[in-house]
Amino acid sequence: MAQTSNDIKNGSVLNLDGQLWTVTKFQHVKPGKGPAFVRTTIKNVLSGKIVDRTFNAGMKMEFETVDNRTLQYSYEEGDSYVFMDMTTYDQVNIPKELVGDQSKYLIEGTDCIVSFHDDTALSVELPASVSLKITATEPGVQGNRSNAGTKPATVETGAEIQVPLFVGEGETVKVDTRDGSYLGRENN
């Protein structure tokens, strides 16, 4: 069955000029005059580049099937990270470039969503937040300060985040994996 631009939905993966693009936003537009069209925001699966594209309604398109699997991070090996499929116990090596800056929040045992196309890993998505232990931070001092009562802290992965003054070394905190912001303390 041929698919057209009318079949576009959020999460659809399109093959445009030999590159895979994920639809992040779409809108079917039927103007008063002229033909209908589909306005989209698409993200390049490999480079992460985001562009706006408009397609004529009914235009034939090549949709690709992407397999999303939940894999658990095991360890780092050379220039890749090793993940385990918890249903088959197969180990999958994912290149470090694919994980990118998210690696600052990657700890052993973290379940991630890995997207595959033809058995090639396309992207790795960490959970929205992770719990990390603080390994180093200065004691909080009240008084003259220009910021809103935060201080730098280093977590077990080596990443540096901003935490409130009352948070101390050895405590476990919840961190947003998208921007590295402090979300709260975990009850130990």
pLDDT, tens digit (0-9, with 9 covering 90-100), for 118-163:
888 888 888 989 999 999 988 866 655 555 678 899 999 999 999 9
Q: What is the pLDDT of residues 66-99, one digit of tens each?
A: 888 899 999 999 999 999 998 899 999 998 888 8
Closest CA to 71 of 111, 123, 25: 111
What would the two tokens of residue 65 be? 């099937």
Query: What H or E segment, with its residue span, contains residue 185?
Result: strand 182-185
Asked if the 3-64 domain carries CATH number 3.20.20.70, the reply is no
What kind of fold does domain 67-125 have according to CATH?
Answer: OB fold (Dihydrolipoamide Acetyltransferase, E2P) (2.40.50)
Q: What is the percent of the chain with per-residue pLDDT over 90, rounded to a whole number?
A: 38
Radius of gyration of the chain (CA): 22
Task: Indicate the pTM of the whole model.
Answer: 0.71
Residues found in the chain: 188
State the pairing for strand pair 91-95/111-117: unpaired
Domain at 129-185, CATH class = mainly beta
How is 129-140 classified by DSSP, letter by letter?
EEEEEEEEEPPP
